[in-house]
Amino acid sequence: MQVKAKYKVAILGATGNVGRLLLEILHERKFPFESIKLLASPRSVGTVMESHGQQYKVELAEPSAFDNIDFVFASAGSAVSEQLAPEIVKRGAVLIDNSSFFRMHDDVPLVVPEVNAAAVLKHKGIIANPNCTTAPLVVVLKALDDNYGVKRVIVSTYQSVSGAGKEAMDELRATSAQALQGEDFTNRVMNQKIAFNVIPQIDKFTDNGYTKEEMKVVHESRKIMGKPDLRVTCTAVRVPVEICHSESVNVELDRPATVAEIKSLLAKTPAVVLHDDPARSIYPMPIDVAGEDPVYVGRVRADESNPNTYNLWIVSDNLRIGAALNTVKIAEALIKQLAAAKV
């Protein structure tokens, strides 16, 4: 890819939750785009979408649609990415993919710019965006690892229904209303009833008893941080919240630190906001964090059961830092790295 003043961009899966937000964020961050093409399945073709006073008509996601495109931001699922990626790369565009399909491919960088921005230069046409719980987690872990060394991580996630798509959000609203009226209701999108409930399963179970979602956190964290032997375990839970994923994180460090030192470190970490004053009931919550860009951290405290170990509470907007925002940041990082290399 050549450094340009402006770039031609395509959003694949433009009518979904993440696709719509990608369009907004490109405008919000004043990404240097010359044009934006919106692509989706046949049922969405002709749909008109608006952002910042500009209207865009959705076109069919077919190979010829990627001619003369510089960046493709994809959020249409693994099957679509697998099918169209060869056509995108063949036409010279850089694909930044939100699906899980390419994340663990050895020749595909998996990137969170605050953690491993330099990895973008290793791309061969495709850069992967990580799981929506992995991205905020590694931003925090990177700061701790650089200063104290991270030895072991235990993560329990509390993931909103937006991670399962707009239909899941609609189901939460509808079934919650039915439950409040004392009516019986059924789940059609989620694998279990989600209204006034928590579901200890996200994605399918694997042979080791963990779900695919849980193993994504394990493998992706290791790859992004460049620590293939990092000890990580995860339990992923779906909760009746519309937007924002929360994470309870237990981190064992190699070197001692005080709670005050960890708080000070996180307070000055880029893309992180320390929101931690329990005496005044101040800590991150989805209701406050939805729509925000940073990773919010609170409830920082020592684990009294184990030396050099600390508990953290992390909340982030999964549609932004966990998906659309990080995707755009990856493109910005590539442009910056290419410009620096040219100099």
CA proximity to 91, closest of 10, 19, 13, 24 = 10
Residue 100, SS3 per DSSP: coil
Structural contact between residues 222 and 228, judged by C-beta atoms closer than 8 angstroms: yes
Structural contact between residues 152 and 252, judged by C-beta atoms closer than 8 angstroms: yes
CA 194, CA 163: separation in Å to the nearest integer?
13
Distances (CA, A) of 32 to 5, 6, 7, 104, 143: 7, 5, 6, 29, 30
Would you call 244 a catalytic residue per the annotation? no
DSSP state, 323?
A: I
CA proximity to 22, closest of 264, 327, 256, 268 = 327
* Active-site option among 132, 234, 244, 275: 132
CA 257, CA 327: separation in Å to the nearest integer?
33
CA 182, CA 88: separation in Å to the nearest integer?
51
CA proximity to 311, closest of 268, 263, 267 = 263
Which amino acid does the sequence have at 110? L
Q: How far apart are the first and last CA of the chain?
A: 15
DSSP string, 187-214: -SSSSS--TT--BS--S-B-TTS-BHHH
Residue 240, SS3 per DSSP: coil
Distances (CA, A) of 186 to 170, 176, 198, 214: 13, 11, 15, 26
* Active-site option among 234, 244, 245, 275: 245
Active site residues: 132, 245
